[in-house]
Structure 1
């Protein structure tokens, strides 16, 4: 890893561990307007990470989940030269329920393109990182999906699928006639992408994720060799607040098989 990525991952890790050391923050839970949960940990993490970013550069531009939509949209509209994108806690329902599958996700965009991604899993103390064009790592160890190590057919794969945000017809078909060996859904978009990068699944499907949910994890997975597209066949990343669908696989061959199967099910 280069010095900037190392400093970013080390600093983020330190901030997160300090904030989540106060376990009382996890138990203070409220419901947002869209029906999703928010804990005091979400709010405190966003405040602490913003303060830490202020020590890295002067007046950093920050787009974050627990920030007013109009503020985030203004940042998208102006496309600042450098834009940090933060999900202070991806997997809030898991945290509030005591399920150990959450992450803090931070990406840096330059001229509207992701160049750096850090996803930290505080439960396992795993820090996934990536630099555009340079590779991906977990706790400093390189991540690379190897051709000879992944299955050749869908029937041999483990799929990470978020059923809740799929159209009902596709979700029902997947549940009744699944083409893969087995399926998992853990509740953190950022961490799901990282687990794909680490070889802990070979297929992925999500109906709609926001920019802060996916951008860091998507960069990490892409740099590790995971291939992806939207359900419409477009590139997953776009510098927009609109939700994006995503399908991904450990190889172009598997992605082709996965896409053909999904198209036939729709």
Structure 2
């Protein structure tokens, strides 16, 4: 039997996300939309659900043999995908930054990764407001609107600007990171996907997060790696392959910052 040739290319993924942003996400921005609070306290809207449904359908048309893991699935479905996908699955956040979206803050994105053999192989993050498309393929570099990007060259921690989510850090760690003045400044823009994409594009120097979901970091982690950055958890362990839905995140623009921040976050 002749095996059907896959239609998957990085450009095909870019096209799907741009279409979803143009036809579903942006038309819902600055409008009155229904929201529901999930068990973890985050919100979901009809736009999240419609965007996931649209993208899942398009991905199935590309290759129906690849499993699908989306943020708006049930937790049991997500865990089943991790367990039974045999290392090959799509990982989608259909609207990362939903709270921003609902509050009319223009900081949200669509994030998609293709994971094979336990690690991301292709990634795309699309910012429909700025019409910025961040993309990467393993061993082929990272790009913004088809132009190559690299992480910033900053090596000194006291000159760095980082993305820190204090509320998901342990209390003592949050106090230490807030008060010890080891970096120049910090931001939290309310979209993990954009923070990863911006780190890869040289807009900031590190990310510290106490617990991102796999759909928050799957695409962005490949972007940062392909842009020359470093990724891991607080203890220096690899983020992939994933056996759980969430992980602490430490990502930086270079090995020097990675080592310094890891020592701060994991002093034992």
Same fold judged by TM-score > 0.5?
A: yes
Q: Does 1:125 align with 2:125?
A: no
The aligned runs of 1:185-204 (5 Å cut-off) are: 185-204=188-207
Distance 1:4 1:125 in 2: 20
| Matched-pair contact (CA < 8 Å) for 1:211–1:240 | no
Higher alpha-carbon deviation: 105-114 or 115-124: 105-114
**Displaced runs of 4+ in structure 1, greater than 6 A?**
none
Structure 2: unaligned runs, 5 residues or longer: 1-7
| Residue 233 of structure 2, aligned match among 217, 230, 234 | 230
Please report the TM-score for the alignment, with normalisation by the length of structure 1: 0.92
Decide whether aligned partners of structure 1 residues 26 and 49 sit closer, same or farther in structure 2, where only a CA change above 3 A counts: farther
Can you list the C-alpha shifts for 1:183-207, whole angstroms capped at 9, x where unaligned? Answer: 0001111211111001111121011
| Residue 40 of structure 1, aligned match among 31, 46, 69 | 46
Q: Aligned residue for 1:61?
A: 67
Distance 1:197 1:235 in 2: 18
Can you list the C-alpha shifts for 1:91-149, whole angstroms capped at 9, x where unaligned? Answer: 1101011111111111101232210011111111111111011111111011123xxx5
What is the aligned length? 260
Distance 1:177 1:81 in 2: 41
Structure 1: unaligned runs, 5 residues or longer: none
Can you list the C-alpha shifts for 1:220-239, whole angstroms capped at 9, x where unaligned? Answer: 11110111221122012332
Q: Aligned residue for 2:93?
A: 87
SS at match of 1:179: coil
Between Structure 1 and Structure 2, the one with more helix by share is: 1
Distance 1:59 1:263 in 2: 40
| Residue 217 of structure 1, aligned match among 206, 216, 220 | 220
Distance 2:232 2:46 in 1: 34
Q: Aligned residue for 2:35?
A: 29
Q: Aligned residue for 1:16?
A: 21
Distance 1:43 1:26 in 2: 16
| Matched-pair contact (CA < 8 Å) for 1:84–1:107 | yes
Distance 1:92 1:31 in 2: 11
Decide whether aligned partners of structure 1 residues 26 and 50 sit closer, same or farther in structure 2, where only a CA change above 3 A counts: farther
The aligned runs of 1:160-199 (5 Å cut-off) are: 160-199=163-202
- Tell me the C-alpha RMSD between the 2 structures: 1.8
Please report the TM-score for the alignment, with normalisation by the length of structure 2: 0.91
Distance 2:203 2:32 in 1: 27
Can you list the C-alpha shifts for 1:158-215, whole angstroms capped at 9, x where unaligned? Answer: 0111111100001111211221111000111121111100111112101101111110
Shift of 1:59: 5.0
